[in-house]
Structure 1
Amino acid sequence: MQLEVLAGGLDWFGSGSRIIITTRNRHLLHSHGVKRTYEVEGLNHEEALELFSWNAFRSKQVNHCYLYISKRVIQHSNGLPLSLEIIGSDLYGKTELEWKSALDTYERIPHEDIQKILKVSYDGLKEFEKEIFLDIACFFKGYTVSYVINMLYSGRGYAPDYAIQVLIDKCLIKIDQCYVKMHDLIKDMGREIVRLESPSKPGERSRLWLSKEILRVFKENKGSDKTEIIMLHLVKDKEVQWNVSALEKMENLKILVVENARFSRGPSALPKSLRVLKWCAYPESSLPADFDPKKLVILDLPTSSFTFNNQLNMKFKSLMELNLSGCKLLKEIPDMSGTPNLKKLYLDHCRNLVQVHDSVGFLDKLEFLTMDNCTSLKILPRKILRNPKPIHPPKHG
């Protein structure tokens, strides 16, 4: 509306006029026929240091006593002038000790004034666009677009493509060589929105991504029906002590990812809301007996103890992807007629796998099957051997 009032048409301006429009919304420019756009880059290190210095010291040069900590501010701001100006003004006239204390705080909790300004674009999103933005901010920055779309489509139950394009148009994310990128301060803004859902009780937030908080929720059984996504990635392989009932209260949990963590026991229950379960080294031979997997789209249990024990009567009607690669105890793939929508089946490096049930050959939607290095495999579905689809026969190494 502002553009229409200020610049209704080209005939409003004389020949040779140049009109410069600044906006956070790229789509707004396209819809008004703007032909040439320029995306403003962040400041480089030297420019950022100079801008920060003008605000923090009222001088072009940084006080040499504060040089090291000033570089921390530059790194934290990642070229964003807004952050450099606000933090610089806040630190003006403060002692070095106060600087360190303030920056430690900013690195944990975003500066309120920066948060407020960056949040303007978020506030203008529709609800489902906000959900996708928060998912990316908390979990998916740096992943390929195809992986993010697959995870969000599987986990949310609706295609995220439109929402992702809206986030691109509003400069909240960008796609760089097929990877989803997001400025660190925008990521922090999204994560702060989630943290403020329950500042002192992580188990009552919609998303959990910090290992320390996840492990505490698991150990103390502090979960709730508020949590929708948990992704646990430990830096080093670690044995985890937990309460096996920790997932029972999470009645709306949709995505659960566990990597680089060794659990001595598996969960006593899984919520029926679960749509994506990716658990490397899952410690049990089967899923909980009372689990209803009707919504499960991805089941990814590589290098686990899973063997389908007591799972034969379960109906995985929504399952589209099953990964059992490296499951050394797996000897047989049973009747899979209860998985009519299965598209991908990964069985690589299942060295004790002897038989794949004939029903796998009759899965009409199966597009991808790998069985490399299944050195004990003897019985294959007859139909698979004649299937023209890109299904990989076993390779023995």
Structure 2
Amino acid sequence: LPLGPVLITDTPGFDDEGTLGSLRVKRTRQILNKTDIAVLVTDATRPIDSSEEELISLFNQKNIPFMVAFNKCDLLSDITAYTFTTDKIKGLSESNQIYVSATEKININELKEMLGKLIPSDESRVRLVGDIISHNQTIVLVIPIDESAPKGRLILPQQQAIRDILESGAYAVTTRETELAELLSKMNPKPDMVITDSQAFELVDKITPDDIPLTSFSILMARYKGFLETAVKGARAIDTLSDGDKVLISEGCTHHRQCGDIGTVKLPNWLRKRTGKELVIETSSGTDFPENLEEYKLIIHCGGCMLSSREMIYRMKCAIDAGVPFTNYGVAIAYMKGILERSLSVFPGMI
């Protein structure tokens, strides 16, 4: 294949019926959430059926580049007599469908070439912070060093932010939240932006003058991973929670839990304080993301720095498919502290 290394997943049938069939259909929907390119193989000797039309509809809904391969074309008496289906099905045109024969090897090379043209670009159109700052600007990064911070190193979003700032020809100035006020009093001119760890959001908001843009590493990661708008909508579900509702707090890594851990200690406490409700908090970490999400009323995920964008979008889409609001640490904290609007103002058009 002209795609480089690939993982090929052969999904279960989408037209299965019964209890087992429903599970297979659900599994297919989940697989689509982490699919970069889809190939629908159908029988050229019959019209596209309703289940296949539904699959194509899902490809369109999930913005998955796709093609349709009409197999068994060797059984057709005259292949030129068959026209492509372009008028009834959205997203289907001559450019993304082809007649092939697996047994007679007809149009196999052409199919591969067509696949190569569907590959998504590797170039990310969004940077972590570099596209919202300018050359020679000064950016202050607030990095708490407490019992939950890793020993002897910075966490990945902090490293990425520093690198992106440097690549932009700007200046990265780092400090703890305990020294922020003193640092700002010594800076003339003022910094062009402050980026903080979400745990220190409330304090940093009070210290940082209103005329200095403020956001968090976690909010930057949500935009970078492609789910910021969903996270903002999901955070508003916090105020709809009731006694007994289940909330999933999920992390993408498996670091050692500390006494002041944000996922198991701080966020649950902030949630209960904000809502005044007796909530049932469940947690997951690493690759252990629950398959059955319907029982939850809200999912709060970490920034996802250890997960690929595809995996984060997969988890988000699984939540959406289950009808569960989905947000992340930074957005949820900013919402609960009443500073979400300020933290989003660094992104033109988000407010």
Q: Specify the TM-score bucket, using the shorter chain as the normaliser.
A: under 0.3
TM-score, with length taken from structure 2: 0.24
Query: Which entry has the higher C-alpha Rg, 1 or 2?
Result: 1
Query: RCO greater where, 1 or 2, for CA within 8 Å and sep 6 or more?
Result: 2
Point out the structure with the larger helix share: 2
TM-score normalised by length of structure 1: 0.22
